[in-house]
Structure 1
Amino acid sequence: MREKQGMGENTPGPSSRRQPPTVRLRRLAAELRHLRQDAGLSQDDVAEKTGVNIVTLYRIETAKTKPQLRTLIALLDAYGVTGSRRADLMALQKEAKQRGWLQSFDANLPDQYTALISLEAEAQQAINYESLFIPGLLQTEDYARAVIRGVLPTAAEAEVENFVTARMQRQALLENETPLRLWAIMDQAALCRTVGSDAVMRDQLSHLIQQAQRPHITVQVIPFSAGAHPGMPGSFIVLKFPADDPDVIYIDSMAGDLFIEKETDIQRYNDICEHLRAIALSPTDTTALIASLREDH
C-alpha cells in the first residue's frame, strides 16, 4: 500500500462499517447488468416483471449490495438463464462476500483502505506507482511506522500500530504459493527522503534490493534526470484480476480516495504505466541506484 494522505493506502482515515466490494461481487453485478441489457430490458421493465425494487436492482448492478438468493433466482428467470451459466451465477452469489484475511482481521480500518486491501487480495497483478513513498507492499515495518507517524502526527500509538500490523499482513500476498505479481515504479524522490532515520532508510533500501531479486517482483525507479513525467500529478495503483475481470485503478490524494472502473480511464492509466516503465531505469540499473543511495545512509 502507499503511504501518504487522505483516506487511502498511504494514510489511514476514520473508520467505517460499510463492507468493501469483492471481485466476485463486482463480477456478479456486471453479469446481471449484461444479462438484462442482452434481454432488451430496462431496470423499470425488470422491476415490473419481477417485483424487485428498482433501487435494489440499481444497487445490485453496481455491486453495492449482494442479491438475496430469491432475488437472484427471480432475475435469472426473467433473463431466461438456465443450465451451467445459471449454476455458475448462483455459486458466485454464494461466494460474493468472501474477502480473504481481511474478513477476520481485528482492526478498525477506514472504508477505502479495507476496500483496497480486499480487492488487492483477489488481484493477480498490481502496478504501483509512487512519487513520494516506498510502495506499501515493499515497506519494512520500521519505515511503515515512521511514515504513518509522520503523516498522522496526532494519531494515538495504538492507531499507528493497528495500521502497521495491517500493512505487514498485506505483504503475505507476496509470499503465497501463487504470489501477487508486483510491478513497483517510484520516483527517485521516494528513495532520497529520509523517513525515520538513516538506519531505517538503510534497512528499507536493503529490503527493496532484496525484494527486487524475486521473480514475481519488478522494481523500477524514475531518476531525477528523466525530468517531468506523467506520474508527477500523483500516485496510483492498477489492480489486475484473473478470469478477464476488469482492472481497478486506485488513486489516493488529500482530497480523498477514488476507485476508477470506467474503461476509458483504465486504458489511460495503463498507457501511463507503459510510459513510466519506458522512462524508468531498467531493473538492473534501478538496483544499482538504490545500492548507491543506501551508502548515503
Structure 2
Amino acid sequence: MPDKRPRPPTVRLRRLAAELRKLRAESGLTREDVTARTGINEATLYRIERSRARPQKRTLVSLLDLYQADDRARADLLALQSGSNDQGWLRPYHSELPEEYTAYIGFEAEARTVRNYESLFVPGLAQTEPYASAVVKGVLPMASQKEVAQRVQARMERQAVLTKERPLQLWAIVDEAALRRTVGGRDVMRGQARHLLDLMAEPHVTFQVIPFEQGAHAGMTGSFVHMDFPDADDPELVYLDTPAGDLFLESEAEIRRYKSMFEHLQAVALGPNDSADLLAMVAAAKD
C-alpha cells in the first residue's frame, strides 16, 4: 500500500508560516480577528501558521493586505508561496539587510539542537562582542559603522537561545585555525578563549577543536550547521553560508551526508577536556 503520511513541510513553507505569525502578532490581531475581517476559516489559518497547509495565493494576498505588509515583505512572501512545495532554498544575499532579517536566525531560534562546524571562525553563538565586531569589519570592509553595529547587536541578541528557560543544545566543532587566527588582536583572542571556556561549563554546550596535527579532514570543504527541532513534524535542516546567499538543504540524502560528516569530525577532534586545555593555552598566551 502507498504511504499516506502527509509530506513534511518544506523549509520555504515553514519560513512563510513563521513570517505570517510574526506579521499577525505585529498587527495585534488574534486569529478570531483575522477570520472576522477576511472570512478565512480559523482552522485554516491555524494550519497555515503552523506550516501544515499551503495558502492559496488569494488567501495570502488577503492576509498581507490586512497586515499592511510592505512591498519587500509582500514580494518575499509571495515568492515563498509560489515555491513552497520545492525542497531546498537558496536565499539570495542582500548586502543592505542587517543580519537580524536573515531566515537562518528564525530557524536557529526555533531549533532544539544546533551542530555547528566552523573552519575559520568561532561560531556566532559563542562570539564575544569585540570578536564579533572585528569579524564583521574584516569580512565586510565596506560596511559603515552603523551596519557593523547592527550586525554585531543581532549576533549578541541571537545568543539568548543559550540562556532561555529551555536552552538550545549547542555542539560546536572548530578547526584550530579558528583559534589561532588573530582576530581583533591578542587581547580579543584571549577574551574569546576565556568566554569559550565559560560556555563549556554549561551542560547544554559542547565544544571541540580539530588540531592542526590531525591533517586533512572532512570539514576542510567548508562550514555548515545541522539543526533539529522540538516538533517531530518539522524536518531537520542543514544550513550553508555561501557568497551567493543562505542555502538551506532538507532532502533525506543531504541530511544523512552532513550528519555523517559531523560524526566524523566529532571522532577526529580533541575531546572536550583536551579542547579546553587548548583554549586555556590560547587564553594564557603572551604577546
TM-score surpassing 0.5? yes
Instruction: Find the counterpart in structure 1 of residue 147 from structure 2.
Output: 159
Conservation of the 8 A alpha-carbon contact between 1:239 and 1:247: yes
Q: Give 1:296 deviation, angstroms.
A: 2.2
Instruction: Find the counterpart in structure 2 of residue 281 from structure 1.
Output: 270
Please identify runs of 4+ aligned residues in structure 1 that moved more than 6 A.
Answer: 67-73
- CA–CA distance in structure 2, aligned partners of residues 201 and 227 of structure 1: 24
Instruction: Find the counterpart in structure 1 of residue 135 from structure 2.
Output: 147
TM-score (norm 1): 0.67
Conservation of the 8 A alpha-carbon contact between 2:176 and 2:209: yes
Gaps of 5+ in 1: 1-30, 36-58, 74-85, 97-107
Question: What SS class does the counterpart of residue 258 from structure 1 fall into?
Answer: strand
1:171 aligns with 2:159: yes
Conservation of the 8 A alpha-carbon contact between 1:141 and 1:164: yes
Question: What SS class does the counterpart of residue 232 from structure 1 fall into?
Answer: helix
CA distance 1:64–1:285, shift in 2 (3 Å): closer
Give the number of equivalent residue pairs. Answer: 221
Instruction: Find the counterpart in structure 2 of residue 82 from structure 1.
Output: none
Instruction: Find the counterpart in structure 2 of residue 243 from structure 1.
Output: 231
- CA–CA distance in structure 2, aligned partners of residues 152 and 253 of structure 1: 14
Gaps of 5+ in 2: 21-33, 52-95
Conservation of the 8 A alpha-carbon contact between 1:202 and 1:294: yes
Question: What SS class does the counterpart of residue 249 from structure 1 fall into?
Answer: strand
Conservation of the 8 A alpha-carbon contact between 1:234 and 1:253: no
For residues 168-194 of structure 1, the C-alpha deviation after alignment (integer angstroms, 9 at most, x for no partner) is 000000000100000000000000000
Q: Give 1:243 deviation, angstroms.
A: 2.1
For residues 88-146 of structure 1, the C-alpha deviation after alignment (integer angstroms, 9 at most, x for no partner) is x75343456xxxxxxxxxxx745896200000000000001000000000000000000
- The residue type paired with residue 174 of structure 1 is L
TM-score (norm 2): 0.69
- CA–CA distance in structure 1, aligned partners of residues 45 and 247 of structure 2: 30
Conservation of the 8 A alpha-carbon contact between 2:15 and 2:103: no
CA-atom RMSD, angstroms?
3.1
- CA–CA distance in structure 2, aligned partners of residues 141 and 217 of structure 1: 19
Instruction: Find the counterpart in structure 1 of residue 203 from structure 2.
Output: 215
- CA–CA distance in structure 2, aligned partners of residues 285 and 140 of structure 1: 22
Question: What SS class does the counterpart of residue 221 from structure 2 fall into?
Answer: coil
